Amino acid sequence: GPTRIGLAGLAVMGQNLALNIAEKGFTISVYNRTTSKVDETVESAKKEGNLPLYGFHDPKSFVQSIQKPRVIIMLVKVGPPVDQTIKTLSNYLEKGDCIIDGGNEWYKNTERREKAMAKLGLLYHGMGVSGGEEGARNGPSMMPGGSFQAFKYIEDILLKVAAQLIAEAYDVLKSTGKLSNEELHHVFSEWNKGELLSFLVEITADIFGIKDDKGEGYLVDKVLDKTGMKGTGKRTVQQAAESVAAPTIASSLDSRFLSGLKEERVEAAKVFKSSGVGDILTEQEVDKKKLIEDSAEKGWDLKLGELARFWKGGCINLAILLDRIKKAYDRNPELANLLVDTEFSKEIIERQHGWRRVVCLAIKSGISVLGMSSSLAYFDTYRRDRLPANLVQAQRDYFGAHTYERTDIPGSFHTEWFKIAKQSKI
Ligand code: 2AM
């Protein structure tokens, strides 16, 4: 049958990456202008234990050997060789096929090629492969280049996080708004109209409309509230933990862990219910009818309406979101954080009130909204020029002489806090 992926350009890096991919069990087709390198690679694959690697001497049979939509990693010398290789391959590529440039090409060239390929209905991504020959063989670091490509790469993760946040919105609407599945179906369908064309909102609306074919009521209510995990979320959080704060992703992972503790939660709910803490702490006054009617209109003033408005702006619409992210980085490639982009910041300023009200409502009602509240905490931390970390630094210097920096004088300082405190007490 067809192979899973192709790789064109078999210098040492290309050979190593191809062997690495084959070793992981993915069938791979390989091609190189100079055919002796194809044979060399095939020979190595044989020696390493019959890895599923297949060599081709001509570009046509190479391309045709790959499963559609085809993905071909290209590792040739930067500059004109890349254009020549694209030209050779695209003769045989079909709509939806994708070339990933694994060379460290200048991003402007990558963008130019991406545009040219798009006209042919082909996809093109830049992805720097670093770690050298050794890295290529044993574990390269792959960095999708250019702003948009990078975000394309995390689309999968964003999708999961967005799904988790929609689930929080569902919980608030269902538990405090007491919306039935019919009403939820209606509300999500309305959200999906007009400006909001999110795949996730659409499928969510569909879900609320589906009856249980094995019993009474709706299927969604019979689905076990225990989410699966495949590891991408975990790896992302681990990666993030190296250097950046990613509370929304982390909290979506936390939500998954907690949802996995179904049996423990069932027992915990008994403990708290028997001591008077019900599922919902305070009953909120919510006019359901108005909520649903208003969902199609603008100008909500219900608390819950804020939730809809917050989401309605396309925050969960990945296609639009990714496009807007790309635009933000086009405006300023050095942008430190999306929050400070002119467009994003404007929107956050407008929406933060609704966001806060929804989180408050959820907290008052005892509904956990890990994702929404931790994202809000992130924003509230990031937007402050001074945080109480000064106290932490002082404490660390006090008990461990870890030293501290000052706001007004450069250098690192240490104070004998204990001595001074003791003296002043005397
Ligand atoms: P080659 O083995 O046929 O020279 C690094 O030089 C890689 O880029 C090699 O796989 C090399 O193929 C390829 N390369 C260099 N120039 C090229 C070109 N003009 N067309 C196709 N591949 C090229």
**Given this model, what pLDDT does residue 66 score?**
95
**Given this model, what pLDDT does residue 367 score?**
86
**Given this model, what pLDDT does residue 387 score?**
83
**Given this model, what pLDDT does residue 300 score?**
28
Q: What would the pLDDT profile of 72-90 be if each residue is shown by its tens digit?
A: 999 999 899 999 999 999 9
Cα dihedral: 15, 21, 23, 26 (round 10): -130
Atom of ligand 1 nearest to the CA of 76: 8
- Residue 260 has, within 13 A of its CA and on its CB side, a CA count of 9
Ligand 1: centre distance to CA 24 (Å): 26
Whether residue 25 contacts residue 49, with contact meaning beta carbons closer than 8 Å, is answered with no
Q: Looking at this predicted complex, what is its ipTM?
A: 0.96
> What is the spatial distance between Cα 125 and Cα 147, in angstroms, rounded to a whole number?
11
Positions of the chain with pLDDT under 50: 145-154, 194-197, 290-317
Beta strands in 105-193 (DSSP E): 123-130, 141-144
Q: Does the predicted model carry a pTM greater than 0.90?
A: no
**Given this model, what pLDDT does residue 8 score?**
97
**Given this model, what pLDDT does residue 33 score?**
97
Whether residue 358 contacts residue 303, with contact meaning beta carbons closer than 8 Å, is answered with yes
33, 38, 56, best to mutate for ligand 1 pocket (most atoms within 8 Å of CB): 33
**Given this model, what pLDDT does residue 281 score?**
65
Q: What would the pLDDT profile of 310-327 be if each residue is shown by its tens digit?
A: 433 333 445 566 667 778
User: Is the bond into 144 cis (omega within 30 degrees of 0)?
Assistant: no
> What is the spatial distance between Cα 176 and Cα 116, in angstroms, rounded to a whole number?
51
Atom of ligand 1 nearest to the CA of 80: 19
Ligand 1: centre distance to CA 77 (Å): 6
- Residues 6 or more apart in contact with residue 328 via CB below 8 angstroms: 335, 338, 341, 343, 344
- Residues 6 or more apart in contact with residue 204 via CB below 8 angstroms: 166, 170, 188
Whether residue 125 contacts residue 144, with contact meaning beta carbons closer than 8 Å, is answered with yes
Q: Ligand 1 in contact with 81 (CB < 6 A)?
A: yes
**Given this model, what pLDDT does residue 231 score?**
66
**Given this model, what pLDDT does residue 52 score?**
95
